[in-house]
Amino acid sequence: MEKITQLEEAIAQRDGLLDKICQLEEVAESLRSENLSLKVNTEEVVKAGVENFMSQFKFTQDYENFQAFFVNFGAQQVLNEVKELHPNLDLSNIEVDYPSPEEAKDGVGQPPTDGAEDSVDQPLVEGA
């Protein structure tokens, strides 16, 4: 009789554990779907943030610094090619001074801006 009672208790415990397993599986599935939803929302937020940054980047000082650097870098490349193609041409009075992006960030090599001058009107090449 005692073994039957122990067996019935073990079956009851097993049934209780199976119920808990089913509940935990439901919770796990709920957490998986919530995780997927959060992942999708995160991807949408990141995409919106990147798009916002990209649309606003052209209005930042970093954009202006890189733009000035690469425009002046291009001018230096053209000047080097002219020197190569015309070695007898005296270009000693023409020099392109372009700062690195880090220097441009610090304002080194930038034309003074007092509000009256527009930096677009500044010559890219000294002596021009």
pLDDT in tens, 2-52: 889 999 999 999 999 999 999 999 999 999 999 999 999 999 999 999 999
Instruction: Confirm whether pTM is higher than 0.95.
Output: no
Contact between 99 and 70 under an 8 Å Cβ cutoff? The reply is no
pLDDT digits (tens, 9 = 90+) for 76-126: 888 889 889 988 888 877 776 666 656 656 655 454 454 444 444 444 444
Please state the rounded mean pLDDT for residues 58-85.
Answer: 83
Predicted confidence at residue 105, as pLDDT, reads: 61
What's the pLDDT score for residue 63? 80
